[in-house]
Amino acid sequence: MNKIKGIGSIGVLMIVAAFFTNCGDDKGSDPAEKIQLDKLSKTWNIVSASLDGTVRTGDFTDFKLTISGTFNSNNPDGPYNFSVSGSRPTPSPWPGSGTWTFSSIGTGDTGTLLRNDDVSMIYTISSNGQLTLSFTCSSCNYAGARTEQVNGNWIFTFN
């Protein structure tokens, strides 16, 4: 009888051990969109801006990009929100606010975002935590007049 109790106790211990072995942190199972949204969601401060290789950082004094949103597993691509503050040129490649969706997610911390104005932005979050957004404006004229001063290939870097 004692042997049966001993075997039964060992069996219960094995089942409990197997149960706790399979318990754990589910962070690795989050969808890629949620992981990237968590990394993107914050207020980013401008480091640099260029248009077709010409430095334009001076046109964006105290410029900040705020990315926000609550992940929705039923619609993981979004839409999510963005807004900008600080000075920006007239015309500007940035509307004051809007929405964006994930267009694609690459490997690591890269992917493509699509703004609600159909501007596709390639993003990269570097190992030092900087966000780089690259996009082409063909009809960006949010703050006003001469679109030739704003249309082209933009690269923004933020901290």
Give the CATH class of 31-158: mainly beta
% pLDDT > 90, the chain = 67
- Averaged pLDDT for residues 122-136: 97
Asked whether the beta carbons of 121 and 134 are under 8 A apart, the reply is: yes
DSSP 1-23: -HHHHHHHHHHHHHHHHHHHHH-
**CA–CA dist 131, 128 (Å, integer):** 9
In the prediction, which pLDDT does 11 show?
46
The dihedral sign for the CA sequence 156, 99, 122, 39: positive
- Averaged pLDDT for residues 55-65: 96
In the prediction, which pLDDT does 150 show?
87
Q: How many other β-carbons are positioned within 10 Å of the β-carbon of residue 76?
A: 16
Please report, as a single letter, which amino acid is at residue 70. Answer: T
Q: Give 65-77 pLDDT, tens digit per residue.
A: 999 999 999 999 9
| Cα angle: 110, vertex 64, 152; to 5 degrees | 65
Q: Where are the domains of the chain?
A: 31-158
The pTM for the full model equals 0.78
**CA–CA dist 44, 130 (Å, integer):** 9
In the prediction, which pLDDT does 2 show?
56
In the prediction, which pLDDT does 108 show?
84
Asked whether the beta carbons of 155 and 133 are under 8 A apart, the reply is: yes
In the prediction, which pLDDT does 90 show?
84
